[in-house]
Amino acid sequence: MLSQLHIENVAIINTIDVEFEKGLNILTGETGAGKSIIIDSINMILGERTSRELIRSGAKKAIVEALFHVSSEDTVNLLEQSGIELEEDNTLLISREIIYSGKNACRINGRIVTSSMLKEIGRLLVNIHGQHDNQALLQWEKHIEFLDRYAGSKLIEIKSQYQKVYEQVNRIRAEIRRISGDERERERKLDLLKFQLEEIEKANLQKGEEEELTSKKLFLSNTEKLITAISNVYSILYSGNRTSASVHDNIADALKNLGEVEQFDPQLKQYYKTLETITYELDELVHDIREYRDNLEYDPGLLETLEQRLDLIFKLKRKYGSSIEEILEYKNKIRKEFQDLLNSEEKLKALNLELDKNMRELEELADKLFQLRVEAAQMLEKAIVNELRDLDMNKVKFKVQVKKIYNKLGDYEFSMNGYDRVEFLISTNPGEPVKPLVKIASGGEMSRIMLAIKTILADIDDVNTLVFDEIDIGVSGRAAQKIAEKLSRIAQKKQVLCITHLPQIASMADHHYLIEKNMANDQYSTTVQKLTSHNRKEELARIIGGAVITDLTLKHAEEMIDIANKIKQNADN
């Protein structure tokens, strides 16, 4: 049950707080006062799509919070699966913020959730009937949804199994189409894959090869420069030239001079040992440099071979990937594809066997769905007729038609719902045959038929709060009174919130709220006020007579409230 609603900065609402009660909660007000904004706000905390256009002009964000008392076992189980715990008093606080920058924050009992999670939980908390729901009755494709909900858990379970098999059948068929295809196209693909495989495999690529080859190419390309530089280094360090002695000779001279005097000073002795060590290390270095120089050899043939290999790798990269690793991955991929095409006949045979098996299972499940729908249709027909009689449609005939659909070849036409077409048929005049609802019913009749369906489903669904947004469209007089009484009876079992313009419905309220639009600080702002018995009579008089409230309209309003109270008392008894 929805017990409290807080709305802040939504459209023309600045801030309002409303406490709703059990029973029939009626909301009335002038056109444009903001009644639809209340419904939009409730939709927000139920996870429906919204936009920043709803944010009040000048505000940075809009906030909606709703406090629910939860008693539904299904809701509790879903919350537990989502890792959300109820408060000790079984309350659930849902909040949603829409920030002008585009961000959207949803929370349940303080925990951040996605809007899809919010929507899944919200559908178990509140059922909203708006004017667009009547349009669903004008689409026969939607009728099957009403019937399936009425049929209950057994059908829903089988339908879930059916849809899994249906998706599997579609997957197998898509795979068969992909494999079978055009034979010439298959051969062309085989030739292409074979060529690509042979080209890559012939190259015998190795991971890390390109980096190694690039390094060797850099070395070989600079061999002459290396020979010259190393020869110069060797000459400087060891052999010397005509104009200057080598480093080795100079160090040897220095060592000889130190040797002649090192016995006179301990510090010179240390210099001598250090220089002697340098001499040994220089000898080793010179030896290594000489070997390195002698092994250097310019090989234009090897360089050409490296360049050809790198050129091959570059060409393969242009075709099959940006690196050797990607090329090898592509090779593995096309090898599998090549084998799949080679083995396609065997795979097609296996897929067709699997398809036959799944089609048999699909047909069995579709048969069960059909039988369950036929049985449920008969019960739904009687239930709707009984409800419509309560709504002053005594002569109506209503039929829920369930037919099997066939394709042009005479086979079943399977869809996500089975092979059934469900359509509501009606006759509103005695002696007339039933015809499709979309061709017969008026707007007022549509409202009553939808209310009848909602009433029936309310007894089945575990949702405790029903919201009716102007269920009275196209209705007046006696029919309006019947709708009012029906809403009152529903409200004995469920919490009902109803926006209405009809005095007959407003008079049946257990709790009456007035929605008004006022001007403050050069801005319109919506307020919600729970009416006292006196205020309620004045509001009802306004609905009856318009802007001018007279003694006569006040008396009429008082009389309607008295009659409504008597009707409710008789219903309780």
pTM beyond cutoff 0.85 = no
Across the range 551-567, mean pLDDT stands at 90
Domain membership flag for residue 473: yes
Question: How many residues are recorded in the chain?
Answer: 573
Note the pLDDT of residue 334. 92
Distances (CA, A) of 177 to 84, 180, 191, 366, 532: 45, 5, 20, 24, 70
Domain membership flag for residue 106: yes
Domain membership flag for residue 49: yes
- Residue 319's contacts (CB-CB under 8 Å, 6 or more residues apart) are 196
Copy the structure tokens of residue 29.
């007000």
The HSE-up count of residue 437 (CA atoms within 13 Å, CB side) is 28
Domain membership flag for residue 552: yes
Which strands, in side-by-side order, build the sheet including 397-404? 397-404, 420-427, 435-436
Q: 71-111: per-residue pLDDT in tens?
A: 888 888 888 888 888 888 888 999 999 888 777 888 998 88
Q: Which residue has the tokens 């991929």?
A: 333
Question: Parallel, antiparallel, or unpaired for β 465-469 and 435-436?
Answer: unpaired
Q: 480-527: per-residue pLDDT in tens?
A: 888 888 899 889 889 999 998 889 999 999 999 999 888 767 778 888
Are 94 and 68 within 8 A, CB to CB?
A: yes
| Rounded Cα distance, 403 and 180, in Å | 34
Q: 405-429: per-residue pLDDT in tens?
A: 998 888 899 999 999 999 999 888 8
Domain membership flag for residue 98: yes
- Number of domains the chain is built from: 1
Task: Please name the helix (run of DSSP H) or strand (run of DSSP E) that holds residue 387, with its range, or none.
Answer: helix 344-390
Domain membership flag for residue 347: no
Task: Please name the amino acid found at residue 461.
Answer: D
CATH of residue 509's domain is 3.40.50.300
Domain membership flag for residue 395: no
Note the pLDDT of residue 74. 80
Full domain range(s) for residue 486: 1-125+464-573
Dihedral angle, C-alpha 408, 412, 416, 420, nearest 10 °: 100
Task: Please name the helix (run of DSSP H) or strand (run of DSSP E) that holds residue 161, with its range, or none.
Answer: helix 153-180
What mean pLDDT, rounded, does the chain reach?
86
Domain membership flag for residue 325: no
Q: Which residue has the tokens 């989502």?
A: 82
- For residue 242, is pLDDT > 70? no
Task: Please name the amino acid found at residue 533.
Answer: S
